[in-house]
A = this chain, B = another copy of it.
Amino acid sequence: MSGRKAQAARNDELILQAARAVFTADPGAPIAAVAEKAGVGISALYRRYPSKEALLQKLCGDGLKLYIEVTERALAEEGDAWEAFAGYLRGIVDADTNSLTIKLAGTFHPTEELHHDAARSGALATEIHRRTVEAGALRPDVTVADIALLLEQIASIRLGDEKRTAQLRHRFLALATDALRVPPGHRELPGPPPEDEELSARWSPG
């Protein structure tokens, strides 16, 4: 496969990669920045997506699907509950879907499919959380929403290049993990945990 079709197929991927990188770094970035990063013209973008919003929806959807995939993989693990959970957290941090999904929330009109996938990802997160708590591995005063917010905090770290950022995120994930594990003595956490509704409210545009 070569020639025009090949370039088009390559551009499909180039554009998505570039868009992911650009909007992760700056959710308000202009569409021209994506084109430049991808090394293509603007019309190559508009040939594929009718608008900026459509591109954002695509990115967000892909991120959500990746999130679901990672979580399902963790749920499929049979070994130690704590290790599965810790691995799940590392997987989410590596996938880096929170940066995009959350920071883009509210900048576009969520599609039906997006809503569906969001619901599914929520259910999966609840499931792995429940399982880990029931195994007595995760301190029980930490809720699913706590974990979500914690992952957002870690995603808020952005320092140096991509590699360094990933490294630091894992550093702080390890720190947080130490606090989540059940063995050591903990004080009860203060304040009611974040409500699901509080988190989902941020998705309404405007």
Q: Enumerate chain A interface residues (CB-CB to B < 8 A).
A: 28, 142, 146, 149-150, 152-154, 156-157, 159-160, 164, 167-168, 170-172, 174-176, 178-180, 183-187, 189-194, 198-199, 201-202
- Cβ A167 vs Cβ B179 within 8 A: no
Query: Shortest Cβ distance from A91 into chain B, in angstroms?
Result: 16
**Shortest Cβ gap from A21 to chain B (Å):** 19
Main secondary structure of the interface of A (DSSP, over half): helix
CB pair B191 A171 closer than 8 Å: yes
Cβ contacts under 8 Å, A186 to chain B: 178
Asked if A159 meets B194 with Cβ closer than 8 Å, knowing A142-B175, A179-B175, the reply is: yes
CA A53 to CA B101, docked complex, whole Å: 31
Contacts of A157 in B (CB 8 A): 149, 152-153
Please give the count of copies of this chain that the complex contains.
Answer: 2
Neighbouring B residues of A180 by C-beta, 8 Å = 175
Task: Name the B residues within 8 Å of A194 (CB-CB).
Answer: 159, 168
Residue of A152, A172, A180 with most chain B CB atoms under a 10 A cut-off: A172
Which residue of A154, A183, A189 has the most chain B CB atoms within 10 A of its CB atom? A189
CB < 8 Å: which of B159, B176, B184, B185 contacts A176?
B176
20 A-B interface contacts by CB (under 8 A): A142-B175, A146-B172, A146-B175, A150-B172, A153-B157, A156-B156, A159-B202, A167-B191, A167-B192, A168-B191, A168-B194, A171-B190, A171-B193, A174-B189, A174-B190, A178-B179, A178-B184, A179-B179, A184-B184, A184-B185
> Nearest 5 pairs between A and B by C-beta?
A184-B184, A179-B179, A156-B156, A153-B153, A167-B191
